[in-house]
Amino acid sequence: MIGFIGLGIMGENMASNLLAVGEKLTVHNRTKSKAQPLLDKGAEWASSPKEVAEKADIVFTMLTNPGAVESVALGEDGLLKGLSENKIWVDCSTVNPEFSKAMANKTEAAGCRFIDAPVAGSKDPAEKGLLNFLVGGNEQDVKEVKSYLDIMGKSIQYMGSHGNGIATKLAVNLSLVTSMATFAEAVTFGESLGLDRKQLIDVLLTLPVTAPVLKGKREMMIENSTFEAQFPLEHAHKDLQQIAETAYKTGAPLPVTHGAKELYAFAKQNGLSKKDFAAVYQLLASEGAD
């Protein structure tokens, strides 16, 4: 039996892919209604994280931030209270290395095993089982869960000991989110000079100066309308904040990242939290129009 806790944009699709190949699944989410599509497909409902851990041999979590993970793991009916000896907890949440190592220590103190396995990818890759897993933990434990990761993803990058998976994810998101900010800025700059938005976007996406992943934002930016969330802007800002806090402890200078973090904070203040992180273009375009 596999357990899955956290059924948002990413988690629901990841869990659905496990069900699609016949895996038996027990699920829990803070809001039960979000689990209904999975329950309709045959998943079992658990009333608490503890119950998920009691029923499953391997438990996956996909949660929004360290606070949510801590609540699920260490709460009164928490995950760690239900894990019995030698079971595995795989945390796919985007947290930070220090926190992830602390969760690993608590899990191992309970006689169980922990893997940090955050993902690179958004809603569409999650639906299609094409995520990239960035993994930290004991290599033998990783091999034990590999078949499940293969169902949900297209690649598994083993990065070494506990915390290295999430450290890699933060580096990946730093590059992704700052690239989106500079791309949006380049487009609004070009528009201010009288260039056609669609033509400029297509030229920039053709040239090697633009990250290939941003091709997926083409239609959103050309239409400049709904920006339906694949990777919510508020999550992008949260990740930048975690990156900044982690860098403060390591002494790494992040001048570009800090500027991007404030830009996304401004976008949140302007009501764009729930939109895709590409909506940072919408903020810049509106500012330029004033």
Section 75-88 average pLDDT:
93
Residue 135, both tokens? 């993994």
Tell me what pLDDT residue 165 has: 98
User: Are the CB atoms for 164 and 152 separated by under 8 Å?
Assistant: no
Q: 3-state class of 156 per DSSP?
A: strand
Q: Check pLDDT > 60 for residue 290.
A: no
CA dihedral 284, 224, 258, 120 (to 10 degrees): -170
For residue 225, what are the contacts with CB-CB under 8 A and spacing of at least 6?
Answer: none
Tell me what pLDDT residue 287 has: 76
User: Are the CB atoms for 201 and 187 separated by under 8 Å?
Assistant: yes
Section 180-197 average pLDDT:
97
Tell me what pLDDT residue 131 has: 97
Amino acid found at 96: N
Helical segments of the chain, H only: 9-20, 36-40, 49-55, 66-74, 97-109, 123-128, 139-152, 164-192, 197-206, 218-223, 233-250, 255-269, 280-289
Residue 142, both tokens? 């990783």
Tell me what pLDDT residue 215 has: 96
**pTM of the complete model beyond 0.85:** yes
User: Within 13 Å of residue 46, how many CA atoms lie on the same side as its CB?
Assistant: 27
Centre a 10 Å sphere on the Cβ of residue 107 and count the other Cβ atoms it contains.
Answer: 22
Catalytic residue positions? 169
Q: 3-state class of 7 per DSSP?
A: coil
State pLDDT tens for residues 214-268: 999 999 999 988 999 999 999 999 999 999 999 999 999 999 999 999 999 999 9
Which residue segments constitute the domains of the chain, with CATH numbers given? 2-160 (3.40.50.720), 168-285 (1.10.1040.10)
Q: Indicate the pairing of strand 44-45 with strand 58-61.
A: unpaired
State pLDDT tens for residues 21-62: 999 999 999 999 999 999 999 999 999 999 999 999 999 999
Distance CA 77, CA 73 (A): 8
For residue 144, what are the contacts with CB-CB under 8 A and spacing of at least 6?
Answer: 58, 88
* Predicted confidence band of residue 288 (pLDDT cuts 50, 70, 90): low
